[in-house]
A and B are shown apart, each in its own frame.
Chain A
């Protein structure tokens, strides 16, 4: 079991470009979470899917950020028109049942917007 897989591990984009981050949850897990981690803000919740359906996206910036889970084996986080303040480590986690269950985190994607 490789655990939660995130690709790419590192991404550098220019200001205004689009970035797409991928997450493959642990097989059989019904819930997928996206977080953003920075030194200043710490770990921030972005969005949450259960059985591929969006449950809570209250942490997502309303503009430029979107997340999808087209099938049970992967989820994507897309950032349009990236800005330097989007630079962070983006973490994906999955759990068997949802929020009331142990979350397993991926290694993260380190995004740097120049």
Chain B
């Protein structure tokens, strides 16, 4: 069973457009993180958001525990935002990752 579902699987935007990435969980969790990975690059933690809304620069994450979902909003996308965005939840100390959303931002 896939415990973390992400959508869309891929997303293509024009530079300047906003992106909305979704993550849903098979269980209730209050341990949610969003990560970013450039092709061939390291995984980087973007936001740790157990509940509510958290913002970091152009990134805004909203986690609704009772609905078992979290979203990541990227405003005014830039070409350098291209890469894969992963969300993760914690299940009994063990982090479980989604398959990711591959974002491509075109000029």
CB within 8 Å of B: which residues of A? 3, 33, 35, 42-45, 48, 55-56, 58-59, 91, 93, 98-108
Contact = CB atoms under 8 A, between A and B. Distances in A.
User: Among the interface residues B43, B86, B96, which one has the most CB atoms of the partner chain A within 10 A?
Assistant: B43
B48 to A, nearest CB: 6
A57 to B, nearest CB: 9
A105 B100 CA distance: 17
B100 A48 contact: no
A98 B98 CA distance: 20
Contact of A99 (B31, B43, B45): B31
Range for the number of chain B residues in contact with chain A: 10 to 19
Tell me whether chain B's interface is mostly helix, strand or loop, or mixed: strand
B95 A33 contact: yes
A93 B99 contact: no
B45 A59 contact: no
30 contacts: A3-B42, A33-B95, A42-B97, A42-B98, A42-B100, A43-B97, A44-B97, A45-B94, A45-B96, A45-B97, A48-B94, A48-B95, A55-B93, A56-B92, A56-B94, A58-B92, A58-B94, A93-B43, A99-B90, A99-B94, A100-B31, A100-B50, A101-B48, A102-B45, A102-B48, A103-B33, A103-B45, A105-B43, A105-B44, A108-B42
